[in-house]
Structures are given as structure tokens and as C-alpha cells.
Structure 1
Amino acid sequence: MTRPANDANFARRSVLAGLAGSVGAAALPAGEAHAQPSETAGAAGTSDAAGAGAKHRYPANWPDPAPYGTADAREDLWPREDNSFVLPLELRPRDKELGRVWMRDTYVNCFTVDGRPLYVATGTTRVPGLTAAGPWNDGIFVWTARSVHGPWKLADTTKIRPDAERGKVWSPEFVGENRPGRTVVAPWQEYWHDDGQFGKRGNAWAPELHYFRGKWYLVACMGDHSKKVGSFVLVSEGGVEGPYRLIEGNYDKPFGESFVGGPSWIKHGAYFHIDGSIYTEGKDAWLVLHNHLYAKFREDMEDIEPTTNLPLFEQKPYTPEPYLEGAYVFKHGGKYYLLHAAWDRTSIDAYGTPRYGYDNPGTGRTQYQYDAVVAVADRFEGPYSERWTAGVGAGHNNFFKDRDGGLWATFFRNPAFGYWADPSRIDDAAVAGVVRLEWTGPKGNRLYVRREA
């Protein structure tokens, strides 16, 4: 199998020590946070945007593997020791034994707040004693920093909840904070117990933070073990630390309409659209839902605009289209980039050659890597181009710009299946990682993990 050079050593070193170099942080798309002159680049060099723009030289697009839907598993598209590192997040008491934060669905961004850059990080975490973020977890934690290298500190929630764990900004545990006219935890988000199959249930997934019109919005998803499974939005009544309350449109249910889907233990009618994201541009904001849907928010941001059916992005699907997750939209160079997470499954073709493809499960197909696939368009709604592999093992991520214009993606190394679930690597899975990106310019219009060649 294709793998980065010295993979076991590189993974452990990057987890334990991080990586010197790389630059400052990120600004959100279009209009809400403006890039500012900032920290110098360090060992990783000047920002991609500034350096490439000055020299008018851009890396080339790679030819796509054929047929459409074949994955590009080359080593250059992996987060490696030379282009990535794991964030040195402040540890909670629960993290001391592992020595780092266990995290899935890593999200990192940077916003200009009161004239200064503020970096934020969050993701899906687990409770002590469980090996995954289910059948229940205890909510959403946030870290902040002034540089992508840190120091990364847990958000100071002590003034809001003096006796609660620092950094926890929302949890089903906070249901006691509900007041008339102010809902923090809706009934469908509360913990519950089943008939003995799992016991305590209820978990929150894939949180993102967005700073929009001077307010903090947190979009996340109640996971497969919840009473209702789907996406919701919280708004802060203070700073990034909260306190947060639920927006009106999620009092009764997640966004969208329910449909049949998910694992067998999800009751009929309880499954909605998961992995919600927010895209903002100017004074407007959109909800982006797993995995082809979007909706515009009302002006007051308390709900999405009413519609009979949520609109679909115009994009070119694979044939057949596999299950995709983690939709996210990012704007750069005047173009819109639509990200998805797709499992690269390996198989052997008729000639005995290994094949990597974004296929549905099937006989002889083995889950290998959880990749980031991307398409580009001139408009938010599309039509989007054919997808390409932007990062091997970097699925369910987000792209962001640092304040110098440099480009980054997050990654987490999926511990559930595939390469990072192998017993020899599992200790280095589920991390809060960031990796440099490169742009192939206004003609190529592609974003890749920074390649070696």
C-alpha cells in the first residue's frame, strides 16, 4: 500500500512533538474577517498566496486518475512531517494519560476580533472510559490562541460555570440552564437511556465556530445515539466562551426534514441531515448540510429561510455516488471550493493491480483512507467541477486562510476504520492536526495538501 516514508516514526513524532515552522493563522471567507499583516513565516517559508502572487509562479494541477472516482493515493497528498503538525492544545484532566487531546472532525479557524487575530479550535471529543465519542459524550470544548502554534488555551468558561470543566461551552448537561424564552438544550438533545442495548445515549459531533456580524455561532450535530440525529446552531450571548443558547429554528428538531437513514438503532423518523456547516459572505450566511444540501439563513440568524425542499448544490457525482460526509464551502481566488469526506476503498483489478477508489462497500473492497475530495465553481451553488483528491487521510476537515494569506486544512486521522485504525497506528489517530495547502493559481484553480514535488 502507498504510505508516507517512515510512517510510524513520523506519526509518533508529530503527535508528541509537533512541528517547528509554518505560519500564523486564518481568516474566514469573504468579508467577515480581514487578513492583517502578521507573524513571520518561520521555517515553512512565506505564505502561499503572497509568495506565489509576487512571482506569478504556481504549482501545476496533477492529471486525475481515471476513470472518474478513482482516488489519488500518492504520498505527496498525505499530511507529512514537512507540511503538517498536531496542535499543542491545553490538556484537560481527562487528557493527561494519553498526553494529548483525542479529537475527531478537527476544526480550526482565525477571525479578527477587536482588531486582533483570534484562533479557535474545536472538534468531537470523548469522555473518560470510552474508546469513541459514543454512545454518549459530554458536549463541545473550545480552545483559543493568538498563533496557530499556540499557546492553545481552553476557553475561559469559569465565570459562566465556576464549578464546571473549563473550556466546555455546551453540553446536554446544561439542560438546567433553560429559562422561559431562552433554550440552551432542547428536549431532543437531552441524554436518554434505551432498553439496555447501549444504556446512556446522546452525543454531539463535528462542531464549528463562526464569527459573523460581531457574534459567535456554533454549528454542530447530535450524533447517531441521540433522540434526533441532525444539525443545530447555537449563538453566544457573550464572547467565544459563551454563554450559548439554541437558535429558535432548532427548538423542536434539527434542520431539514427527517428521512430513513443511519444505523439500525436509529428510530424511524429520527434521522435528519448531519454534519452541518456555515458559510458566510458579506452580510449573508448559508447553512451547508451533509452532503449535497444548503439553505440561506434568515436575516436574524434564528432559523433558515422557509422552503419546501432544501436546494441542492450542482455538482458532478461519482458513478455510483458513495456515501459522503463533512460538506464545507471555502472561497479563495474568487472561486468556491466544496469539500467532502469520502472513504478510499482498495481492491484488486482484473490485472492484479491495487486500485484505490471512492466506491461503495462491496466484496473485495477494504476501507483504506478517509480522504478530502474537493470541487470548484464560480458560484456558491455551482455548477461544481469534477472532484479531485486534495488530501489523503484528511477527510471531514475545513480549509482556512492565515492572516498572511497562507492556506491550511485540518485533519484528524480517522480511528474508526482503515489505515489509522490499525493497532500499530491507533495511538496516533484522532488528533487535532493542521496541514499546509497549495493553490495552483487562477488558471489551475485547485487546492492540494502541499506536495513535495
Structure 2
Amino acid sequence: MSEQVREHPPNWPEPQHYGTADVREDLWPRDDNSRVLDLELRPRDEELGRVWIRDTYVNHFVVDGRSIYVATGTTRAPELTGAGPWNDGIFAWTAESLDGPWELVDTTGIRPDAERGKLWSPEFAAENAPGRTVVAPWQEYHGGEDRRGDVWAPELHFFRGTWYVVACMGDHSRKVGSFLLKSEGGLAGPYRVAEGNLVKPFGDLVGDAPDGVDPSVYHHIDGGLHTEGDRAWLVLHNHLYSEFRDDMEDLVHTTDLPRFRQRPYDPEPYLEGAYVHRHEGKYYLVHAAWNRDAGDGRHAYDSGGDRYQYDAIIAVADSFAGPYSKRWTAGVGAGHNNLFTDADGRLWATFFRNPAAGYWADESRVGDAAVAGVVRMEWTGPDGERIYARRRG
């Protein structure tokens, strides 16, 4: 089917029960609508033959008139099978097109003895100096020989002429939650911690925490950055947001952050990876949710069944804060992603194939999990207002 005919494909009918997961293969990243990016390997990647990465993030910017694509995500230390209880920082890759070549950011001019492409790590704490904090005390490794402290889900943004990183210290860290890094140079850095994160992550304590995590240190996670014109907002797990101050050193709301107006499921499941993308004048709020096998032939986001796929669910609104529409399944197995528009105006999302449970944790598939994937998305036009993984014609 031609691009012109597919320009505004139809919405699929809403499931009878709100909270039902649509698991049709049309919504999966497939060979005909997606690809895995060939990121430049580091020495640690050579045995596997590719980069092991979760929470894949890809975006496109125009910097000094030049088109640049950036990629980052949660990676693991060489001696570990996952990204905890510690990892060793945030790596980044760039390319002139999605086709590559995808090369590690050249950081050798800043840290000649560190791994190429590493923008930030808790191990850089020795670079702290009066008036300039590279690693805050709550972000440093701890635990002695049992090194602990991992950084998750980084994003890279170019905003008002400056590069920023938004990321999260993970469950094994001294404090858990989201923070902002500001570059004092170019994309390679060097980066320092924003003033609002010198003592703690953004926002309040959550009040409860996952099993094994001290609730007295657990703040809201999965922070993302949404920019529009000269304004920027932090988007947080647990349905929260706040605008940044004009100097980008802290939030306007440092406590009691406002909440997005949404239509929750009943019951509302645990959601992660909140992200907002503006497209054609509308705001699309993305969450990651496990679709679960309810045991009766139905998959749902509000059931207590076995985890099957880690999906991207989306809702749409006329304004950033909402109110947002009912959510729909936008990508099966494409959870904890971001949406972005390429240099040709085409809409994409990332995916990584979650190896933690379900479909991609199966022994026959786990070797193909934790990848830097991108999938073409389609918009159903000004009447349908939905975004889906590009479906078959």
C-alpha cells in the first residue's frame, strides 16, 4: 500500500473492556517495520557481538544546522549479566542518519584514560571541585567490595544550545530517583549535576518502594524531559510532572508535584517509563505496562496473570497536563520507550525487548533481548489522533 494511502490509517475499535491489551502481531516490532541499530561496539561488547542495552533512547536534533541522531540507554558492566547491583555509567552514540554508522561519542579529549563514549559515571566522583559537582554524594558507589549503585534510563536532549542528560539512580543506589546533568561543553561534556540534585533526586519520597528497596530513600523514578519552545518540563513515574526553572537548575515545583489528568485502568497497574511527545499539535503520554495473560484467552494490563510482553500504551490530549484520553496499546513489547521524529518527518519509537520476564525472557529468545531497536510508527490523522506501531497494509 502506498505512503499516500497509508497517510491516515484507521483507528482500531476500542476493546470492550478498558484495560484489555491488544496483542495482535500487527503491533509488534517486526522485520518490515523495525530494525536494531548497529551501535559501535566497546571492548566489553565483542563477545556478545552487539551492545546489551535496556531502556533504549534515540532522538534527532539539528545542531548548528547539522542533523544528528543520538542513542543511549541502560548498559551493564562487563562482569555482570544485568544492569545491577551496579553498572558503570552512561554511554552515548551518534549518527548522521538512522542507517548509521553509529559511533561512540568521542569523550577522549575530556577523559583520555576512560572508556570512549562514557558521558557520566558514579566513578567520576573524584572530579568534584568547589562550586562544581560532577557526582553528588547520594550518587556515589557504596558497599565496599560489594560495589553498589546503578544509573538507569538516560535521555539526551539539546535545548537552548545546551546538552542535557536526564537519568535515574537505580534501586541499589544510596538514594533512588531522577536527576539532571548539564553539559559545560558539547555533547561529550563535561557534565555536572544540576543544583536541584546536589542533595537528593527530584520530587518527594514515593511513600512505598519495591521489595528490597528502603522506602526512606525511594523517590520518583524514570524522569524524562519534554521541551517546547523555551520551556522544559520533567516527566516522572507515578504520573507527576513539573516545569523547570528558566535556569534549568531545579524544578518550579520541588515538592507536591502536579499530576497529569488521566483515565486510569481499574485497578491501575504499576506503570513505568513515562514520556510525552508532541505531534501535530497534540500531546501523547506514553507509559510502559506489562500485559498479562489472564488465563481465559484475554491479555490485560489490570490482571494478575503471568507477564507476557512489556508494552507501550499511549493516551492523547490537547494540552500537556491533560485531560488525556483512554489509553490504547501502541506497541507490543515496545515498553519503556520514547517517540521521536526523524529528519524526514517520519515518526518512530524505540524498543529493547525486556529480558526480565515473559516472552523475551524465554531461554529460546533471551539471546535476542536487550537491544537498541527502533520501530516505525503511524498516526491516524487529525480525526483518529492515535499513534500505533506501523501495522501491515
Tell me whether the two structures share a fold, i.e. TM-score over 0.5: yes
The structure-2 alpha-carbon separation of the partners of 1:163 and 1:338, relative to structure 1 and needing over 3 Å to count, comes to same
TM-score, with structure 1 as normaliser: 0.85
2:301 alignment counterpart: 358
Q: Is the 8 A contact 2:291 2:300 kept in 1?
A: yes
The CA deviation at 1:266 is: 1.8
In the alignment, does 2:360 pair up with 1:420? Answer: yes
Pick from 283, 292, 310 the counterpart of residue 370 of structure 1: 310
Mapping of residues 133-212 of structure 1, within 5 Å: 133-193=83-143, 199-212=146-159
Q: Is the 8 A contact 1:203 1:226 kept in 2?
A: yes
Matched letter for residue 125 of structure 1: T
The CA deviation at 1:57 is: 4.7
Counterpart-to-counterpart distance in 2, 1:265 and 1:400: 35
The structure-2 alpha-carbon separation of the partners of 1:154 and 1:308, relative to structure 1 and needing over 3 Å to count, comes to closer
- Which stretch of the first structure deviates more once superposed, 234-243 or 265-274? 265-274
In the alignment, does 2:319 pair up with 1:379? Answer: yes
Counterpart-to-counterpart distance in 1, 2:153 and 2:295: 33
Mapping of residues 303-452 of structure 1, within 5 Å: 303-349=250-296, 354-359=297-302, 362=304, 365-452=305-392
The structure-2 alpha-carbon separation of the partners of 1:220 and 1:415, relative to structure 1 and needing over 3 Å to count, comes to same
Q: Is the 8 A contact 2:360 2:369 kept in 1?
A: yes
Deviations 1:259-294 (A, max 9, x none): 333333222310000000000001000000003000
TM-score, with structure 2 as normaliser: 0.98
SS in 2 for 1:236: strand
SS in 2 for 1:269: helix
Q: Which runs of structure 1 show a deviation greater than 2 angstroms over 4 or more consecutive aligned residues?
A: 259-265
Q: Is the 8 A contact 2:86 2:149 kept in 1?
A: yes
In the alignment, does 2:49 pair up with 1:106? Answer: no
Deviations 1:73-105 (A, max 9, x none): 000000000010000100000000000000000
Structure 1: state its 5+ residue gaps: 1-43, 46-50
Counterpart-to-counterpart distance in 2, 1:376 and 1:113: 29
In the alignment, does 2:164 pair up with 1:217? Answer: yes
Query: What is the aligned length?
Result: 393
Mapping of residues 9-20 of structure 1, within 5 Å: none
Structure 2: state its 5+ residue gaps: none
Counterpart-to-counterpart distance in 1, 2:279 and 2:26: 22
Q: Is the 8 A contact 2:74 2:83 kept in 1?
A: yes
Q: Is the 8 A contact 2:182 2:193 kept in 1?
A: yes
Q: Is the 8 A contact 1:105 1:206 kept in 2?
A: yes
Matched letter for residue 223 of structure 1: G
Counterpart-to-counterpart distance in 1, 2:382 and 2:96: 31
The CA deviation at 1:307 is: 5.0
1:125 alignment counterpart: 75
SS in 2 for 1:318: coil
Q: Is the 8 A contact 1:64 1:72 kept in 2?
A: no
Matched letter for residue 103 of structure 2: K
Q: Is the 8 A contact 1:290 1:324 kept in 2?
A: yes
The CA deviation at 1:56 is: 9.1
1:85 alignment counterpart: 35
Q: Is the 8 A contact 1:341 1:396 kept in 2?
A: yes
